[in-house]
Amino acid sequence: ALPRHTFMLSGCRLLLTTRMSAFTVAASAASVAARVGYAAAPVARAKPAGRFDAHSRHIAVTPVCMGRKAAKVAAKKQKGEAIRTKLYGKYGKLIVTAVKEGGGADPVANTQLARVLADASRLSVPRDLIERNIKRATDTSQADYMELTYEAYGAGGVGIVIEVLSDNVNRAAADTKAAINKAGGKVAEPGSVLFNFERKGFISLNCSSEKEDEVFECAADNGGDDIAPREDGGEGFVVVTEVAGFMQCQKALADAGFEIDADGTALKMVPLAEVEVDDDAAEKNEALVEKLLELDDVDAVYTQ
């Protein structure tokens, strides 16, 4: 599993408790809660393909005063709201793309749209947002969205992958590069960072820890590679899959009655090699990621 860092999500990301060795950032709510979009929650790293392992982890809980406890509750709530905002923003763009590319706003005739809507429904994307973006897609003035990937280096040589979905390529390129440079990073050549990452599917479940055997059996029978307890403070498990089995496993778990947690369910980039840096470099990389996540066009940022 990936090392646990409290800074991996939003408000909690500012409470560093360990030296950074590798971090996958999915959202930053402390500074951008009002305008950030989708990003994935940190979860356990997958083992090599073909290995499926269920394991338990004991987490020591340190008593805190009421003031600190209230602050943590507020930060967790803010983090969840920011991640949902990012998620909804991404699905809005995916819906527009599906309508334009798939041949219309009727999901019966447009199989691409039907798949996006089914996924959005499983992740509890609001119906009004779905309808609003279907309508927006039929506006002839709405430009097509394009998926873009940018690569960069942060402090200490940490590799960074930035995923973008934008209807204005020139704006996205200029804003992304400006954010990287302003925060002290360096734009990397295409492919120079990406080869250090692999894409995996992560399915976060809200369920009792007593359901571990049931989760294991369902996931193992439907393309799951790994299972681990959630590390975002919620009770339940995270199932890791290959990209090809992500949707099948997600559907099987939902059909089996497990509640899918939208905040932590997505395809994400996982670093193959971790880069250890000192605290100063870690803070600089945090600031860089936050700058990137302030951009509406940026959907997710991943780091080694």
Distances (CA, A) of 287 to 25, 38, 151, 280, 294: 12, 18, 16, 11, 11
Q: Looking at the domain assignment, is residue 88 inside a domain?
A: yes
Nearest alpha-carbon partner for 43 in 205, 220, 281, 156: 205
Residue 187 falls within a domain, yes or no? Answer: no
Question: Domain span at residue 84?
Answer: 66-137
Reported pTM: 0.63
Number of domains in the chain: 1
Q: How far apart are CA 91 and CA 117, in angstroms?
A: 9
Placement of tokens 């599993």 in the chain: 1
Q: Which CATH number covers residue 101?
A: 1.10.10.200
State the amino acid at position 257 in one-letter form: G
User: Quick check: is 301 in a domain?
Assistant: no
Q: Is residue 294 part of a domain?
A: no
Closest CA to 99 of 58, 140, 50, 134: 134
On whether residue 51 sits in a domain, the answer given is no
Q: Is the pLDDT of residue 40 over 60?
A: no
Q: Could you tell me if residue 148 is left (phi over 0), alpha (psi between -120 and 50 degrees) or otherwise beta? A: beta
Q: Which of 302, 304, 291 is closest to 36 using CA atoms?
A: 291
* pLDDT tens for each residue of 161-212: 999 999 999 999 999 999 999 999 999 999 999 999 999 999 999 999 999 9
pLDDT band for position 119 (50/70/90)? confident
Q: Give the model's pLDDT for residue 84.
A: 76
Residue 100 lies in a domain: yes
pLDDT at 75: 52
Whether residue 107 lies inside any domain: the answer is yes
Structural tokens at position 106: 């009727």
Residue 128 in any domain: the answer is yes
